[in-house]
Structure 1
Amino acid sequence: MKTQKKTVLLAIVCMAFFSFTMQSCKEKSKQPEVVAKADSFIEADNIIKSIKVLEFPDNTFNITDYGAVADGKTLNTEAIAKAIDACHEAGGGKVIIPAGDFLTGPIVLKSHVNLHLEEGAQVLFSTNHKDYLPIVHTSYEGVELMNYSPLIRAYKQNNIAVTGKGVLNGQGSNENWWPWCGKDKYGYVEGAVKQHDSINLPRLRQMNEAQIPVADRTFGDGYQLRPTFFEPMDCENVLLEGVTITNAPFWVIHPLRCNYVRIDGVTVSSHGPNNDGCDPEYSKNVHIANCTFDTGDDCIAIKAGRNEDGRAVNIASENIVVENCYMKDGHGGVVLGSEISAGVRNVFVRNCKMDSPNLDRAIRIKTNTLRGGFVENLFVKDVQVGQVKEAALRINLHYGIYANQEGNHIPSIKNVHLENMTVENSGKYGILINGREEAKIENVTFTNVHIKGAKTPMKVEHSEPIVFENTTINGKSY
């Protein structure tokens, strides 16, 4: 009898313990999932190692030997093309642009060619728009089309580079390219044709939604869609190193569907409309290091196609490392979106400095239910922010400066981690997050983050609770 009572008592104790353990597990499961951060930048190092150091044969081809004239007036498009062709046909090497001012139309890179600008060299890109014809397969704000050639273009090439200490001057200005944006401050005259007129962007948007074949999306002469500056497309092993880029017509550095890209020691000083500094799109294994961005739009904006084009291409931008960069003027320091329909994952930002009264945000994610897409695994570490206007971190799932930005493609944002970050003057907000009721932001963490000067410390809507560790905003611990 005593034995039976002991057995019953033991069973009750075991059931109580089991019940307590299950309840404890349930409570723990409600806590936001925290992706391991301690070793996250080991993966960043692995990405960097995967991008090989490019090598070129020891052949040199000076453009002056092919007829180029450094007077800033003679059009050298043909001479530069001849030098590149000769280098390519010889198995590769270095095409030299020596000191001097060389006027040219678009430059087309070929495999195993390193276009090298010596110190004192300046490439001036023609202001005659007809020099950028015939139209070629390119992209405009995340939508592919046939348009004016990018200023420097490569298509389906391997092992290509632009290097040196020279200047690439797009000669965009209030008299050339920029007025097409339709804004007075960029030289637009009321009544002139602009990019938002029905023949231009609205027409391209309709073609995107209807998925008209790219070959039939013809623009160029007679239309007002500006070309990108440096656009390798469907290329592998790409290097852009050392040069200064200024006065771009539109987006500055735009690797499109590329793999293994290194952008190192480049200075972008370009304050025109939509002058994003660097926009990797549908691209993988990208290393952006030791660069300075002083821009008229986002300093770095990681893209992945717009709406139906993005969903049709369906290539996420991933494995992107940004380090040792300085972001000055711009709409955002490191931005993901808004053309993000194919998604972005595995982005690492470290050892960067961001500081300007004309820099709106430090870290930004932007999309809506027309763009959809996803962001997962954004790691930010060891970043110093001086002054920004709006927020240290801005996540917005209601992005849209134009009307009709609502659709049926619910975005997903998760695993956003900021660590060892200081902000001296955060402007309007410390943290500004606008999720959606049907798409809550998931797993945002702040570790050793200290934000000062925020008029409003936090405004967070439709997000899982942010996990704070040793973090202060305006001196208050969170």
Structure 2
Amino acid sequence: MTYKSIFTLSFIFLLVSTGFAQETKIKTKKIKVEAPFSMPDITIPDFSAAPTFDITEFGATIGDKERISNAISNAIAAASKQGGTVVIPAGEWLTKKIHLRSNVNLHLAKGATLLFSGDPEDYLPAVFSSWEGLECYNYSPLIYAFEAKNVAITGEGEIKAEMEVWKKWFPRPQAHMESIKRLYNWAQDGLPVTERNMVNDTSNLRPQFVQFNRCEQVLVENIKIRNSPFWTVHLYLSKDIVVRNIDVYAHGHNNDGIDPEMSQNILIENCIFDQGDDAVAIKSGRNPEGWRLKTPSKNIVIRNCIMNDGHQLVAIGSELSGGIENVSVQHCEAGPKANLMHLLFIKTNERMGGYVNGIYFNDVKAHNLKDGILGIDTDVLYQWRTLVPTKVKKLTPIQNIQLTNIHAEQGKFIVKINGNAALPVKNVFLENVTLKKATEKEVQNSYVDDFRF
């Protein structure tokens, strides 16, 4: 062997041993999505040919939480190195938090249940997360991915949360309210997120069930989700995401189904929602956080979904300070037993700023609505109205809202818009939108420019 050959082999070995070799590549595929706006193709991972890593081969034993948790963590580490699928086999597997990594598919086999412990200590140490649009360090989401690429949760099994402790945290006593007030003021004053630790004896900020935080190329497919401490699937500062064929049942406090927040290029399709809050709640940060991060939620298509219970089919806001644009809802339905508030509810207030532009609803059906088909309210503050004063006043421009072929059986009204006198809502267009039985005036609008019905 020549000196040159020896040098070349040594150099290659050095590259591999020091981590400079080409990183693991997972196959990807592009999804084309039809929308009434320019919608980019969505790139998602394809694990069909990837190797599998069964957690039992890493020591998981049913009934042993410690062994199961360690086995899942070790299987994820191994799968991430070469790209692969971590398999949860049939059976009930009690576990602590799960932290996903790049190039990993967490796959639940048919008959598998990942049961997440209800002990808050199992979700420590605190991680970089958020609470209702404000960044902080908090209990880890039950399934958490941070700055990961090519990551998935798939399979025919279910993920489920033990709720005994989280249920005790649903109420909002004074100590909790003072904690979120403190977090709000920290964000307003620009305190670094690393110094916003919300894990203590009184804050009781429940973690999200699933959070993809600053991730790219994400797939969530086919799984069932049962119960959730807080928001169920939180898509945070992430892009290129497909969520399809999932079945959500979660009737706790703040149990939205899916929360895209400051995230882009998203397809949500063929999902079933039965929860205690909104099916899909699109957000983009609260006040100073949205202004600081300057990342709108946009290019979101929701289609062929069924909502069996909850508040809104789709909510826009109220945390929308980074802006929300290009949202399409197609061919969705609220089931006969659902008693929703609205099909579409856009909500903001004088503190949020941000913007809403380009929301399209087409071919949506519902039965009974507590309120109406479309609601827009520019003065929704919830507990914040008395908790903290308005420090910076920024209104939200809302424009280009289009509903076509929308039908409901009964409700109070078809549309109710509470605009702002200083900045009216603009360009709202309803075509072939019907409510068989309206118990109040069908159209109840204030401060709207260019309303067509």
Asked whether the two chains share a fold, i.e. TM above 0.5, the reply is yes
Task: Name the structure 2 match of 1:212.
Answer: 191
In structure 2, which of residues 254, 257, 262 is the aligned counterpart of residue 277 of structure 1?
257
Residue 305 of structure 1: CA displacement?
Answer: 0.1
1:43 to 1:360, Cα distance in 2 relative to 1, 3 A = closer
Task: Name the structure 1 match of 2:72.
Answer: 80
In structure 2, which of residues 289, 293, 303 is the aligned counterpart of residue 313 of structure 1?
293
Aligned residues: 413
Residue 424 of structure 1: CA displacement?
Answer: 1.1
Residue 373 of structure 1: CA displacement?
Answer: 1.6
In structure 1, which of residues 139, 142, 146 is the aligned counterpart of residue 137 of structure 2?
146
**Is 1:448 paired with 2:432?**
yes
**Is 1:129 paired with 2:110?**
no
Q: What secondary structure sits across from 1:464 in the alignment?
A: strand
Whether contact under 8 Å (2:59, 2:67) holds in the other structure is no
Task: Name the structure 2 match of 1:17.
Answer: none
Instruction: Report the structure, 1 or 2, having the larger strand content.
Output: 2
Question: How many percent of aligned residue pairs carry the same amino acid?
Answer: 38
62-71 vs 338-347, greater mean Cα deviation:
62-71
1:46 to 1:410, Cα distance in 2 relative to 1, 3 A = closer
Counterparts of residues 25-424 of structure 1 (less than 5 Å): 42-43=34-35, 47=39, 50-56=41-47, 57-71=49-63, 76-89=68-81, 91-172=82-163, 175-182=164-171, 195-196=176-177, 198=178, 200-222=179-201, 223-355=203-335, 356-402=337-383, 403-404=385-386, 406=390, 407-424=392-409
Task: Name the structure 2 match of 1:437.
Answer: 421
Residue 430 of structure 1: CA displacement?
Answer: 1.8
1:420 to 1:212, Cα distance in 2 relative to 1, 3 A = same
**How far, CA to CA, are the matches of 1:128 and 1:230 in structure 2?**
17
Whether contact under 8 Å (1:72, 1:101) holds in the other structure is no
Q: Which amino acid aligns with 1:350?
A: Q
Deviations 1:139-183 (A, max 9, x none): 1100000010011111111100000111100222xx321222316
Task: Name the structure 2 match of 1:16.
Answer: none
Deviations 1:223-249 (A, max 9, x none): 311101111111100000000111100
Residue 221 of structure 1: CA displacement?
Answer: 4.0
**How far, CA to CA, are the matches of 2:37 and 2:61 in structure 1?**
44
Deviations 1:309-355 (A, max 9, x none): 11100100000000000112112111100000011000000000023
1:357 to 1:292, Cα distance in 2 relative to 1, 3 A = closer
Task: Name the structure 2 match of 1:428.
Answer: 412
Q: What secondary structure sits across from 2:359 in the alignment?
A: strand
**How far, CA to CA, are the matches of 1:308 and 1:388 in structure 2?**
34
**How far, CA to CA, are the matches of 1:463 and 1:193 in structure 2?**
38
**How far, CA to CA, are the matches of 1:270 and 1:421 in structure 2?**
27
**How far, CA to CA, are the matches of 1:72 and 1:384 in structure 2?**
46
**How far, CA to CA, are the matches of 1:46 and 1:371 in structure 2?**
27
**Is 1:460 paired with 2:445?**
yes
Q: Which amino acid aligns with 1:443?
A: N
Q: Which runs of 4+ in 1 moved over 6 A?
A: none
**How far, CA to CA, are the matches of 1:45 and 1:463 in structure 2?**
23
Task: Name the structure 2 match of 1:474.
Answer: none
Structure whose alpha-carbon radius of gyration is higher: 1
Please tell me the root mean square deviation across aligned C-alpha atoms, in Å.
Answer: 1.7
Deviations 1:102-150 (A, max 9, x none): 0111111111111100111000111111111111100110000001001
**How far, CA to CA, are the matches of 1:358 and 1:78 in structure 2?**
43
Q: Which amino acid aligns with 2:430?
A: F
Whether contact under 8 Å (1:235, 1:259) holds in the other structure is yes
**How far, CA to CA, are the matches of 1:95 and 1:135 in structure 2?**
24
Q: What secondary structure sits across from 2:92 in the alignment?
A: strand
1:352 to 1:298, Cα distance in 2 relative to 1, 3 A = same
Deviations 1:414-449 (A, max 9, x none): 000000111111x22221110010111100001111
Scaled by the length of structure 2, the TM-score of the pair is 0.88
Scaled by the length of structure 1, the TM-score of the pair is 0.83
Residue 202 of structure 1: CA displacement?
Answer: 1.3
Whether contact under 8 Å (1:75, 1:105) holds in the other structure is no
**How far, CA to CA, are the matches of 1:267 and 1:98 in structure 2?**
19
**How far, CA to CA, are the matches of 1:75 and 1:127 in structure 2?**
17
